Amino acid sequence: MQQPPLDEMENFLRGLQDRICNALEEADGAAKFREDLWERPGGGGGRTRVIADGALLEKGGVNFSKVHGDRLPPSATAHRPELAGQTFTALGISLVLHSRNPYVPIVHMNYRFFSAGPVWWFGGGADLTPIYGFEEDARHFHGVLKTACDRHDPGFYPRFKAWCDDYFTITHRQEMRGIGGIFFDDLHGDASLLRAFWEDMANSFLDSYLPIVARRRDLAYGERERQFQLLRRGRYVEFNLVYDRGTLFGLQSGGRTESILMSLPPLAAWAYDWQGEA
C-alpha cells in the first residue's frame, strides 16, 4: 500500500496548529502563545507553542513535530517487535490545555503519522478530563467525536471509544483518567480514506472543546475547588509520566524535553491517602 504524501500531511498539521492557536488566543483574551522552533540532533524537529498565565488558560501547549531517525525507540516497537531496528519518520500535533477555572476540564488531543521501513500507520485521538463532571459537557464532547467518526465508518466510534477507555486508565489506582473520548493507533489500509478520517477528526477539536469553555469559564469557585483541581491534576501527571506512549516515545527518541513535558500542569498536588468527599 502506497504511503500518504508526508509533505501534504505536514502542511495540514502546521495549518491546524495555526488555526487552533489563533482560536485559543481569541478565547483567552489575555495571553499569547510563545513559539520555540527546535531541531532534533538525530533528525527532524518541531514547532512548540505554549501559553501561560492567561485569563482562561493557566497553561497550555500546542506542538507540531516531524522527526526521523535510524532506529525506532522501544516504546514504538513494544507492540510491533518485528519493526525493531527500522528507520522511522513520525509527524504529528499534540495539545494539552489546563484551564484556570476548575470547572473547565483538562483536554488532550493528539494526531500522528508513523512510517517505519515499508510500514506506515495513523494514530491519534482526543479525550476530556473534567475536574468536576457535567453530563451536558460529556455528551457534547463525545457527540462531536461520534459525528465526525460516523462520516467515515459507523463502526469507528464504538471501537475507538472503547480503546480510549482502556488506554486512559491509571492502572495502579484502578481509575479512569477522565471521561474518555476516542483513541486509535496502528491504523493502516486505504491511505486516502484513512487520511480523510484522520484530518476530519483533527479538525473537530475546536467544535468539541470551545462550547464547553463558554459554558463553564465564568462559574464561581473558591479555594476548596482549587485544591480539588490540583489533586486531579496530580492524577493526570501520574498517567502521563508512567503510561503515556507519546511521552515515552518522545523521551526515548531524543526529542526536546521541554516540548514533551509541556503536557504537565503548572501546579499539581498529592495528599497522602486522600479520600474524596461525595
Q: How confident is the model at residue 72 (pLDDT cuts 50, 70, 90)?
A: low
Mean per-residue pLDDT, 17-42: 96
Mean per-residue pLDDT, 108-131: 94
Decide if pLDDT at 140 tops 90.
yes
Q: Would you tell me how many other CB atoms lie within 10 Å of the CB of residue 258?
A: 12
Distance CA 239, CA 226 (A): 20
Decide if pLDDT at 198 tops 60.
yes
Residue carrying the nine cell digits 495513523: 122
Distance CA 98, CA 215 (A): 16
Q: What is the pLDDT of residues 30-55, one digit of tens each?
A: 999 999 999 988 889 999 999 999 99
Residue 255 has a pLDDT of 76
Residue 78 has a pLDDT of 61
pTM over 0.85: yes
Q: How confident is the model at residue 260 (pLDDT cuts 50, 70, 90)?
A: confident
Catalytic residue numbers read 108
Decide if pLDDT at 82 tops 80.
no
Decide if pLDDT at 83 tops 80.
no
Decide if pLDDT at 138 tops 90.
yes
Cβ atoms of 91 and 112 closer than 8 Å: yes
Decide if pLDDT at 16 tops 70.
yes
Q: Which residues lie below 8 Å from residue 235, measured CB to CB, with a gap of 6+?
A: 170, 173, 175, 177
Instruction: Tell me which residue of 84, 48, 73 sits closest to 63, measured CA to CA.
Output: 48
Decide if pLDDT at 71 tops 80.
no
Distance CA 2, CA 22 (A): 34
Q: What is the pLDDT of residues 207-257, one digit of tens each?
A: 999 999 999 999 999 999 999 999 999 999 999 999 988 888 788 877 788
Q: Which residues lie below 8 Å from residue 45, measured CB to CB, with a gap of 6+?
A: 37, 38, 39, 65, 66, 67
Instruction: Tell me which residue of 37, 98, 46 sits closest to 264, measured CA to CA.
Output: 98
